[in-house]
Amino acid sequence: MADKLIIVESPAKANTIKKFLGGSTKVMASMGHIRDLPKSKLGVDTEKDFEPEYINIRGKGDLIKDLKKEAKSAKKVYLATDPDREGEAIAWHLAHILEIPEDSVCRVTFNEITKETVQKSIKEPRKIDMNLTDAQQARRVLDRIVGYKISPLLWKKVKKGLSAGRVQSVAVKLICDREEEIENFIPEEYWNIFAQLKDKKSKKAFEAKFFGKDGKKLEIHSQKEVDDILAKIKGGDYIVKDIKKAEKKRNPAPPFTTSTMQQEASRKLNFTLKRTMSIAQGLYEGVKVPEKGTVGLITYMRTDSTRISDEARAAAKKYIESNYGAKYYENRYYKTKQNAQDAHEAIRPTYVELSPDKVKDSLTPEQFKLYNLIYNRFIASQMSTAIYDTTSVDINVNDYIFKANGQTLKFKGFMTLYVEDNDNGKETDDVVTLPELEINQILEEKKIESKQSFTEPPARYTEASLVKSLEEKGIGRPSTYSPTITTIIERRYIQKDKKQLCPTELGKIVNKLLIENFKDIINVEFTAKIEEEFDEIADGKVFWKNVIRDFYGPFSTELARVEKELEHVVLVDEVSDVPCDKCGRMMVYKYGRFGKFLACPGFPECRNTKAIVETVDVPCPCCGATVQVRKTKRRKNYYICENNPASCNYISWNKPKVGEVWNPDEATDVEEKPKKRGRKKKSK
């Protein structure tokens, strides 16, 4: 008989904690949620004050039986699920199933899974926080109502199997809006003029950029304007009129929150959000390392706080001063953004002494990359400011002004270890040195040239930039970013083109229908307001059913109106120019699980369908025939000759290039030829 029973969510976490406690303590895993709303129906009684109908999750009967048996024989049961709203709700469901009274002191949480923290937390249990539980219940119930009430309309008007989600639909709208901006964008011409100048004393050359005239900035929009300026400055002296020297400081980024970790892992490591969270979960739950045994290497990975503990701050100071010197340390406090859930620290290493190099052999390559990112970001957040010496020079030539800017890195500070990226790549501050110039000095012109450019449309969202936008707009919380983006990709509303997120035709149709009929539901401000109300529930300021009541009244009225208006509306399929080769009707475009395809409008009499073949504008490097674009089961593009396998075996991951000579033997290389996957034959 176990003296104590501790229930956590995952087996990995259970194994780590078990090693810290030993003795007669038993640790079991609930494997996530054990109760939820039923999938077959709404599961929320709108007639009885939105009472949710929870049922045991199918397939967990044996696990529940084992948990009940162990709980009955244990002297004390502790519910140690994850330290967030979702974890609190799982603990509440466990308490219900195991018949533990709601006011029982049975809840323990671990912000980090280390021996010291686990042993301390077990000695300081608390009651289940019903405010946190109710915040999760409110989100679950409201999302269920939206999804189960709107989705049937999509089935009737677009296609079976579609679904709408409150946060997911807003994310799709943002991506569709950005795509529309790109499609409607009209490029504008602009020009820059660059002068290559030389300091006669030092013989050093440098570049100056045209600024304007008489102290005012001028924008150049045509070749004629360029020619006019060049004509007016031709033969003039380039005279140094002003020199400004200053010191520029750059501070480190704060330690990671869930959002910033996901963004940086996407930029620096090319990890998807889902992959990042899965790897982080493993680092949090426990890894076996030399001398320490099995320990969690990072703190809890779902947080929007940048706060760190005094102990972690002291450990960082010791590490920085011993490895870099005292001048590289700076005690920093970061302000957590408004509306952040500050229950947990920022994401940081649990043991500063376990540097990435020390634990590298204990980690998978992916774990090492993410741990290295988290570790370096945390240490850098407590390091000194980087300092640059900057110089700005104004140069006059016939009343026109050119400007030259230079900077040199005076003290590297935190940049010794870590520099944050942005969505366009690394935020590098290039070192540009200017010669030592003097006021009224005349410079020699070596060359002057102009460059034509055009304004560019806004960039498509990447996973990283979409998370940043969702966070800035107050949509979703740390636990929702990854599942939101994963869901809209899996539903084929969005597809990834390299790292960019683009709406599919299906996504555009669904978005248009929702915008036209449910403006409030996919309104950014409305969705952000709901998130704030969830936060108020978690803080005990609002009763959760009040939020549902306030939402449901206007929503049900809107739903009834839309159902009536759409009752006789039929979405007409787009007609193609391809005749059906069985009955002669002009085929129409339809949308299936794997995207757009052609179908005969004579269904069910004629069931003919055709795939839409995408091709590239470069001929096959082997035989000159057309190259088709196809997709693997995982939706990755590959390129194949239309004559493959009949008379040509060209197939490649890479798009063919004009003039490319292709070696057929290369097709056997796994990097070049898509794997042919098949089911394994069962052994007799």
Q: Is 8 helix (H, G, I), strand (E, B) or coil?
A: strand
Q: Residue 259 carries which side chain, given as an amino acid letter?
A: S
Q: Is 629 helix (H, G, I), strand (E, B) or coil?
A: strand
Helix H or strand E encompassing 100: none
Contacts of 75 (CB under 8 A, 6+ apart): 1, 2, 3, 4
CB 380 within 8 A of CB 334: no
Q: Which is nearest to 531 in space by CA: 514, 547, 553? A: 547
Contacts of 457 (CB under 8 A, 6+ apart): 181, 182, 185, 187
- Strand 442-454 with 238-250, pairing: antiparallel
Q: Residue 223 CB: number of other CB atoms within 10 A?
A: 12
CB 388 within 8 A of CB 334: no
Torsions phi, psi for 327 (to 5 deg): -70, -15
Contacts of 196 (CB under 8 A, 6+ apart): 205, 206, 207, 445, 446, 447, 448, 449
User: d(Cα 546, Cα 71) in Å, to the nearest integer?
Assistant: 35
With helix as H, strand as E and coil as C, how does 12-61 read? Answer: HHHHHHHHHHCCCEEEEECCCCCEECCCCCCCEECCCCCEECCEECCCCH
Q: Provide the annotated active-site residues.
A: 300
- Strand 35-36 with 4-8, pairing: unpaired
Q: Which is nearest to 25 in space by CA: 91, 74, 88, 92? A: 74
User: d(Cα 145, Cα 157) in Å, to the nearest integer?
Assistant: 19
User: d(Cα 577, Cα 407) in Å, to the nearest integer?
Assistant: 60
Torsions phi, psi for 664 (to 5 deg): -55, -25
| Burial of 42 per CB tally in 10 Å (0-12, 13-18, 19+) | middle
CB 407 within 8 A of CB 390: yes
With helix as H, strand as E and coil as C, how does 378-419 read? Answer: HHHCCECCEEEEEEEEEEEECCEEEEEEEEEEEECHHHHCCC
Question: How many helices, marked H, and strands, marked E, lie in the chain?
Answer: 17, 28
Task: Tell me: cis bond preceding 621? Omega within 30 of 0 counts.
Answer: no
CB 562 within 8 A of CB 518: yes
Q: Which is nearest to 261 in space by CA: 357, 366, 347? A: 347
Torsions phi, psi for 166 (to 5 deg): -60, -55
